[in-house]
Amino acid sequence: MSDERQNTSEMGRRAMLQTAGAAVITGLAVGGTPTVALAAAQDAGGMSTADRNEAPLGARLQGVQHFGLTVQNMERAYEFYTAVLGGTEVFRHGDFQGDGVQNTLLADQEIEANARGVNPRTIGVPDLRGGAQRLDVRFIQFDNVVIELLQYRDADQPMGSSKSFAEPVQHMSPAFPRMMHICFYVRDDVDFNKFIADLEAESARRGMTQVRANRTVRVMTEADRKAAPRSSNTNRVTQAPSDGWELIYCKGPEGEQLEFVKALGPVKQRFSEALAKRQQTVTR
């Protein structure tokens, strides 16, 4: 085979893999028609919903849905990922505050601050609960992955501000700039609360006691977190344009920041439409 034919074949193979990967990530193919790759990913083994919920954890995932990056300067980061690297905005949402978002994202850090006897702010925990700080997000679509840009800012700073709540230093809190998290995509038919409980149990069985998911109710000690009802394993978002998310933050075995999500209904459709539009306009 000539070099030209090899290059052509390789380009075609890459395009096929990119398209299949993108379809799996969004959960929908262009126009809503399932692709072979998507069908294989969602229906592996032909499991019933009941069987799926008792299957190994890996069989209940659809892969990685997005990567999140907490930034110091939202507009600068947005320009880099869109104008420089060519990503396409899916949607943006912001001014998040209140008990629900505070508990979902930052419960483990409040437990840590309480255990140390220090003000949560000193270890990088914003006050979303009281509204002193706010969280803004923007989702950027690439061919086979989505990047989420997050900025925690003081309430008196405008959205897109160049001034973040915390300095860009290494720490455990996900509110610090440069802190990334990996988001795993849970299958649509999986019981999210049970998945989180099983994840913690399986990790503990293997001696990975650092793997701890947050709760959507306020907890001040590790005992409180463990005693929280199973229903608090899931934050169900109902406000547009984020309506359809089910999510919780979780620490991994090395202290890395993880997130587990389901993308259902309206938010799933938004990602699907953004991908379809991108595939129609991007020239290879």
pLDDT in tens, 89-107: 999 999 999 999 999 999 9
Band of pLDDT at residue 1, cut at 50, 70 and 90 = very low
What average pLDDT score do residues 224-235 get? 97
Band of pLDDT at residue 109, cut at 50, 70 and 90 = very high
Whether pLDDT at 62 is above 80: yes
Kindly report the backbone phi and psi dihedral angles of residue 244, in degrees, each rounded to the nearest multiple of 5, phi listed first. Answer: 115, -15
Band of pLDDT at residue 40, cut at 50, 70 and 90 = very low
Distance CA 228, CA 241 (A): 29
**pTM here?**
0.69
Residue 136 in tokens: 């803004």
Pairing type for strands 235-236 and 245-251 reads antiparallel
- Span 163-181, pLDDT tens digits: 888 876 655 688 888 778 9
Average pLDDT, the chain: 83
Distance CA 199, CA 193 (A): 10
Residue 181 in tokens: 């998290």
Which domains are delineated in the chain?
Answer: 55-268 (3.10.180.10)
Percent of the chain clearing pLDDT 90 (strictly above): 59
Q: What is the pLDDT of residue 113?
A: 95
Distance CA 129, CA 1 (A): 63
- Span 135-174, pLDDT tens digits: 999 999 998 889 999 999 999 999 988 888 887 665 568 8
Pairing type for strands 146-154 and 61-70 reads parallel
Q: CB count, 10 Å around CB of 203?
A: 19
Distance CA 242, CA 244 (A): 6
Closest C-alpha among 238, 214, 218, 241 to residue 94: 241
- Span 181-214, pLDDT tens digits: 989 899 999 999 999 999 999 999 889 898 999 9
